[in-house]
Each structure stands twice: as structure tokens, then as C-alpha cells.
Amino acid sequence: MLPFQLLRQAERELDLARKWYDEQRHGLGLVFFDAYEDAVQHAQQFPDAGFVVSNTELSRTVRRFPLRGFPFHLVTSVVDDTLVVIAVAHAKRKPGYWLERIR
């Protein structure tokens, strides 16, 4: 299993989404966080299993992993044998908004 690093911007996205879901229904933020943790563990175990993000012009492969039950996905890349979580992105947000984080 690969170690992982959560970029500061991705951590902020995670916190905002968790808080928003908890405001919608008490406890839903925890369910969201559990889905996030499940996606991270899956990405750590199977880093090549995510969907390749094709709109990048980068030398490294960027993949996304869905958060089950929520319209979010992790945007990840493996750097020096570490899974880097670049974004916790809402599915309706502008694609590739996170590109500047990895240039």
C-alpha cells in the first residue's frame, strides 16, 4: 500500500464538503468522510485502477477515483512512490481546475 499525501488545497476542499454535508443532515459529513477514506485506501492499494484524466498535458499520469455515494472524486498522481491527492473535486466543478497545483 502506498503512503499518501493530501495537498493543502485538497484538504480544504475535503473539510468544506464534509462541513456542508453535515449541515444538510447531522452525521452525513461523517458518511462523506468515510467515503473519502475508502477511496483513498482503494487508490493506495490499486493506484492504476482510477480513470485516467485525459485533459492533462503533464508528464505524469493523473487519475480520479469516485467517492461512492457522493458526486465527488479524488484526483491523484503517484510521485516518488507516494500517492498524492491533488483535489477532492465535485463532479460538476470545472474540469481541470486543479491543474495549477501540479505544475
pLDDT in tens, 90-102: 999 988 899 888 8
- The answer as to whether 103 is a domain residue is no
- The answer as to whether 39 is a domain residue is yes
27 conformational bin, left if phi > 0, alpha if psi -120 to 50, beta if neither: left
Are the C-beta atoms of 6 and 14 separated by less than 8 Å?
A: yes
- The answer as to whether 74 is a domain residue is yes
Average pLDDT over every residue of 68-75: 98
- The answer as to whether 29 is a domain residue is yes
DSSP string, 54-66: TT---SS--EEEE
**How do residues 22-57 score in pLDDT, each as one tens digit?**
999 999 999 999 999 999 999 999 999 999 986 656
Question: At 69, which CATH number?
Answer: 3.30.2310.20
- The answer as to whether 102 is a domain residue is no
User: pLDDT value at position 55?
Assistant: 60
Overall domain count for the chain: 1
The model carries a pTM of 0.91
- The answer as to whether 86 is a domain residue is yes
Gyration radius (Cα) of the chain, Å: 13
User: pLDDT value at position 60?
Assistant: 80
- The answer as to whether 72 is a domain residue is yes
How does 24-52 read in b/e, with b if 16+ C-beta sit within 10 Å? eeeeebeebbebbeebbebbbeebeebee
Task: Give the range of the structural domain holding residue 92, as residue numbers without chain letter.
Answer: 4-97
Are the C-beta atoms of 73 and 86 separated by less than 8 Å?
A: no
Q: 13 pLDDT exceeds 80?
A: yes
- The answer as to whether 67 is a domain residue is yes
